[in-house]
Amino acid sequence: MLRGTPRNTSGGRSLCILHVEDDASIRDVIRRIFANVGHEVHSVADAVSAFELLSTVAFDVIIMDRNMDGMDGIQATRAIRGTHGPVGLIPIIGLTGSNDADDIAACRDAGMNAVLTKPVPAKILRDTVATVVAHGFEWRADQMEARLVDAHAASIETDVVDLGQLAETLGETDPVELLAHLRLFLEHLPRLIDRIERAAVDRIDGAMIESAHAAKGAAATAAAHRLRDLFARIEAAARDGAWPEVAELIPAIRPESSRIQSFVDNHV
User: Which tens digit of pLDDT belongs to each residue from 206-234?
Assistant: 899 999 999 999 999 999 998 999 999 99
pLDDT above 90 covers a percentage of the chain that reads: 44
Please report the pLDDT score of residue 177 as a whole number.
Answer: 84
Q: Can you state the percent helix, strand and coil of the chain, rounding each to 5?
A: 65, 10, 30
* Of the candidate ranges 6-20, 34-48, 60-74, 228-242, the one whose mean pLDDT is the lowest: 6-20
Please report the pLDDT score of residue 11 as a whole number.
Answer: 44
pLDDT at 141 over 60: no
CATH fold for the domain made of 10-154? Rossmann fold (3.40.50)
pLDDT at 41 over 90: yes
pLDDT top residue among 161 and 63: 63
Query: For residue 22, which phi and psi values (nearest 5 degrees)?
Result: -90, -5
What number is the average pLDDT over the span 11-16?
75
Region label for 223, one of left (φ > 0), alpha (ψ between -120 and 50) or beta (otherwise):
left
pLDDT top residue among 172 and 233: 233
pLDDT at 238 over 50: yes
Please report the pLDDT score of residue 10 as a whole number.
Answer: 37
What number is the average pLDDT over the span 174-182?
86
Question: Which H or E run contains 159?
Answer: none
Mean of pLDDT over the chain: 83
- Superfamily the domain 166-267 falls into: HPT domain (1.20.120.160)
Model confidence over 45-76: pLDDT tens digits? 999 999 999 999 999 999 999 988 889 999 99
Q: Are 10-154 and 166-267 the same fold in CATH?
A: no
pLDDT at 149 over 80: no
Model confidence over 65-104: pLDDT tens digits? 998 888 999 999 999 988 877 888 899 999 998 878 888 8
Please report the pLDDT score of residue 137 as a whole number.
Answer: 53
Q: How many CA atoms lie within 13 A of 231 on its CB side?
A: 28
Of 48, 133, 62, the residue nearest 95 (C-alpha): 62
Domains in the chain: boundaries: 10-154, 166-267
Cβ atoms of 22 and 72 closer than 8 Å: no
